């Protein structure tokens, strides 16, 4: 498995690989299978941020999806 830390606007809608994954916090950690993944965050104001990552077994990546710093 691989681990992903997503940073972005709290209370945004998160999708992983096109599937709803709930509400995002300012910092959200996920465990995903190795492979190519697409992370999409839609903030309450309608702004959409998309990031893609190719992950191998045991990988860890932190992705910035906008929001307050």
Rounded Cα distance between 47 and 49, Å, is 7
Domain with 23 in it: 2-64
- How confident is the model at residue 26, as a pLDDT? 85
Query: Is residue 31 assigned to a domain?
Result: yes
Query: Is residue 69 assigned to a domain?
Result: no
Rounded Cα distance between 61 and 33, Å, is 13
Query: Is residue 42 assigned to a domain?
Result: yes
pTM of the model: 0.89
What mean pLDDT do residues 31-50 have?
A: 94
CATH number of the domain that residue 7 is part of: 2.60.40.1120
Number of domains in the chain: 1
What's the whole-number average pLDDT of the chain?
A: 92
Structure tokens that stand for 35 in this block: 């492979």
- Among 35, 46, 40, 47, smallest CA distance to 24 is for 40
Structure tokens that stand for 52 in this block: 């893609």
């Amino acid at each position: 498995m691989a681990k992903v830390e997503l940073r972005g606007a709290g209370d945004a809608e998160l999708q992983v690989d096109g599937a709803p994954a709930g509400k995002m916090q300012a910092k959200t950690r996920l465990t995903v299978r190795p492979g190519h993944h697409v992370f999409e965050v839609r903030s309450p104001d309608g702004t959409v941020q998309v990031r893609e990552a190719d992950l191998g077994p045991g990988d860890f990546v932190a992705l910035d999806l906008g929001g307050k710093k």
